[in-house]
């Protein structure tokens, strides 16, 4: 006989509210995903929205490489559908080590790689291994989700505000006062959300400071400062921008550095879930059980296919050329539109695109009225762009940046070139109307 379960749940909300662990009670969901949900609901009602919110790819605009699809299909047909090793297949681990040697000049030993289902599980495992309750987690803002990973491990977030004139990267002087007490320092380049790339001299100075701080701690018998370097966008750099690694610039930092990487963004493969950490074997060894117990393994066919393409990168040459050019054209379209508005005297700005799939743009309409609504907060600005201009963006305050600032992230992975142009025209029309 069917059971109407809903009837037994009515009136038990109070009981449910007492059930979760306090950790779960205090954990906040992603504001970016919440904004994306709002956008999708409007699109479902027929609103003609240009969606520049989520850092994902529309397969109609940026499909995964066909060679990757073919390889995964071959692996499935060959029967590689059982559990992979919890730390990743031996083939993929070796392919990662070989690619870091050949492409980044880094010769890591065996045991330095942990594979997970995308970059998030290795990122979480790194924090779970390194951060104890009360430990300080130092990171520049705006920043992707770092505060949530610190919270989940009882860490104390120490955000360092950055400035647009520095590409929303921290200066060394802004970080230095906190290095003596931090347990983790997170650096992300190319940056989400800023779309900028850290300078070589700055990254070198940071790495040297981590080495010096750890010499001091070693003499005092204290736990080390670990540099977590998020480089998941490193293959997507444009123009004159160059990607550097801390270990490549300062090899002495290697014992204290965890690098996070993935195919998710560099091959438009966000749904295929293959990511990894590269770190000293004694850190990787502690991270392994966290991935193993959560079962956050990348699927075996995807791992084997990824290993093949890392070993044979020439098979992706034409794909990568077209992929990067498509991203850069969309970003440049938006950037040029903001520069034109700025030249006309309107209160906007944008940073030249250097990497990833994001453009940092400032739309300073604070205190002005749009369609009868006075813009007082960054969320007011976001809603005006969404409801009046039909352009969806993410404000920087969603990334921990103090507002109101007028700075927003524009993500181009899910729009056509015509869509990027339409978004630029709609934003320009709204700005002109608000500034009359």
Provide the whole-model pTM: 0.95
Q: Is the pLDDT of residue 426 over 60?
A: yes
Q: In sequence order, what are the residues at sequence separation of 6 or more whose Cβ sits closer than 8 angstroms to the Cβ of residue 226? A: 126, 130, 183, 184, 185, 256, 257, 258, 283
* Joined tokens for residue 416: 């056509």
Closest by CA position to 303, among listed 274, 278, 271: 274
pLDDT of residue 14: 60
Walk me through the domains of the chain, giving residue ranges and CATH numbers: 19-62+319-434 (3.90.1150.10), 66-315 (3.40.640.10)
pLDDT of residue 8: 77
Q: Is the pLDDT of residue 135 over 60?
A: yes
Averaged pLDDT for residues 142-157? 93
Q: Is the pLDDT of residue 5 over 90?
A: no
pLDDT of residue 244: 98
- Dihedral of CA atoms 99, 105, 107, 108 in degrees, nearest 10, equals -70
Q: Is the pLDDT of residue 258 over 90?
A: yes
Q: Is the pLDDT of residue 18 over 70?
A: no
Q: List pLDDT tens digits, range 385-421.
A: 999 999 999 999 999 999 899 999 999 999 999 999 9
pLDDT of residue 22: 78
Q: What is the mean pLDDT of the chain?
A: 94
276 touches 264 (CB < 8 A): no
**81-96 b/e (C-beta count within 10 Å ≥ 16 → b):** eeebebbbbeebbbbb
pLDDT of residue 16: 57
């Amino acid at each position: 006989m069917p059971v109407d379960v809903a009837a037994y749940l009515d009136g038990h909300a109070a009981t449910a509210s007492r059930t979760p662990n306090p950790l779960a009670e205090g954990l906040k969901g992603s504001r970016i995903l919440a904004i994306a949900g709002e956008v999708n609901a409007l699109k479902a009602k027929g609103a003609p929205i240009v969606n520049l919110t989520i850092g994902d790819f529309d397969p109609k605009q940026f499909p995964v490489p066909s060679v990757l699809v073919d390889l995964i299909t071959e692996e499935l047909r060959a029967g590689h559908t059982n559990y992979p090793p919890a730390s990743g297949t031996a083939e993929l681990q070796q392919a990662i080590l070989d690619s870091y040697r050949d492409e980044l000049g880094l010769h890591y030993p065996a045991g330095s790689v942990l594979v997970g289902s995308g970059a998030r599980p290795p990122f979480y495992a790194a924090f779970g291994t390194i951060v104890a309750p009360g430990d300080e987690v130092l990171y520049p803002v705006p920043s992707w989700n770092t505060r949530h990973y610190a919270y989940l491990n009882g860490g104390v977030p120490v955000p360092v505000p950055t400035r647009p004139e520095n590409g929303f990267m921290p200066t060394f002087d802004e970080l230095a006062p906190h290095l003596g007490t931090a347990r983790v320092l997170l650096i992300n380049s190319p940056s989400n959300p800023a779309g900028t790339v850290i300078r070589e001299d700055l990254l070198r100075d940071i790495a040297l400071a981590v080495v010096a701080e750890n010499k001091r701690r070693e003499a005092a018998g204290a736990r080390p400062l670990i540099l977590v370097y998020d480089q998941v966008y490193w293959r997507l750099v444009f123009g004159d921008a160059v990607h550097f690694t801390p270990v490549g610039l300062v090899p002495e930092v290697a014992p204290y550095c965890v690098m996070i990487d993935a195919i998710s963004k560099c091959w438009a493969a966000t749904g295929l879930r293959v990511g990894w950490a590269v770190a000293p074997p004694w850190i990787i060894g502690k991270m392994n059980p966290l991935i193993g117990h959560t079962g956050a393994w990348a699927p075996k066919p995807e791992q084997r296919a990824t290993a093949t393409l890392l070993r044979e990168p020439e098979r992706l040459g034409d794909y990568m050329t077209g992929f990067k050019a498509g991203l850069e054209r969309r970003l440049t379209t938006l950037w040029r539109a903001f520069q034109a508005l700025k030249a006309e005297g309107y209160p906007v700005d944008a940073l030249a695109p250097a990497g990833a799939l994001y453009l940092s743009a400032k739309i300073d309409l604070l205190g002005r009225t749009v369609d009868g609504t006075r813009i007082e907060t960054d969320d007011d600005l976001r809603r005006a762009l969404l409801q009046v201009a039909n352009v969806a963006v993410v404000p920087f305050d969603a990334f921990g940046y103090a507002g109101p600032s007028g700075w927003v992230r524009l993500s181009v992975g899910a729009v056509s070139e015509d869509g990027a142009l339409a978004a630029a025209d709609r934003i320009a029309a709204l700005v002109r109307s608000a500034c009359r």
